[in-house]
């Protein structure tokens, strides 16, 4: 036997109403959670690429003539979650590469975060994360 509340409705009707309300709100909550997760992953990638570019620029400022070592240092400094085969890497030097000249390290990473999340196949969002760091050359050893 169902008990009636003060409004005259039975408690079984209230449970059904709560279930319907939850079914309407739950997809919105899941989408908001996915958006927060997407932002967090992008933020992690941005910070990781920036740290890798800084480390590569520091290495390049002391060894500006060794292009292969600079590239290797840059790619080894990337975060674990970054697919190294999809990262675009570039360095910009002055032709002389002498003490005090600026050098730039740039990373560009194309990522599709939402493919790994629920509804990802329906909503692929290509995102480009890029950083550029410019430092002076400290020494130019030959």
Q: Which domain holds residue 40?
A: 11-136
Q: What pLDDT score was predicted for residue 29?
A: 92
Is residue 1 a part of any domain in this protein? Answer: no
SS (H, E, C) the chain: CCCECCCCCEHHHHHHHHHHHHHHHHHHHHHHHHHHHHHHHHHHHHHHHHHHHHHHHHHHHHCCCCHHHHHHHHHHCCCCCCCHHHEEEEEECCCCCCCCCEEEEEEEEEEEHHHHCCCCCCCCCEEEEEEEEEEECCCCCC
Looking at the 3D structure of the chain, how many domains does it have?
A: 1
Is residue 57 a part of any domain in this protein? Answer: yes
Is residue 78 a part of any domain in this protein? Answer: yes
Largest separation between any pair of C-alpha atoms in the chain: 93
pLDDT (tens digit per residue) in 77-133: 888 878 888 888 888 888 888 888 888 999 898 876 666 555 555 555 667 888 898
The pTM is what?
0.70
pLDDT (tens digit per residue) in 2-38: 555 555 555 666 778 888 888 899 988 988 887 788 7
Q: What pLDDT score was predicted for residue 60?
A: 87
Is residue 6 a part of any domain in this protein? Answer: no
Q: What pLDDT score was predicted for residue 119?
A: 56
């Amino acid at each position: 036997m169902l008990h009636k509340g003060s409004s005259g409705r039975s408690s079984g009707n209230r449970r059904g109403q709560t279930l319907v309300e939850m079914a309407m709100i739950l997809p919105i909550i899941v989408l908001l959670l996915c958006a927060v997760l997407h932002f967090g992953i992008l933020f992690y990638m941005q910070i990781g690429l920036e740290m890798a570019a800084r480390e590569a620029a520091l290495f390049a400022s002391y060894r500006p003539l060794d292009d292969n070592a600079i590239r290797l240092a840059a790619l080894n400094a990337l975060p674990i979650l970054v697919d190294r085969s999809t990262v675009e890497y570039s360095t910009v030097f002055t032709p002389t590469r002498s003490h005090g000249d600026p050098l730039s390290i740039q990373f560009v990473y194309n990522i599709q975060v939402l493919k790994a999340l629920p509804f990802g196949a329906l909503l692929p969002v290509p995102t480009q994360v890029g950083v550029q760091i410019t430092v002076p050359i400290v020494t130019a050893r030959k």
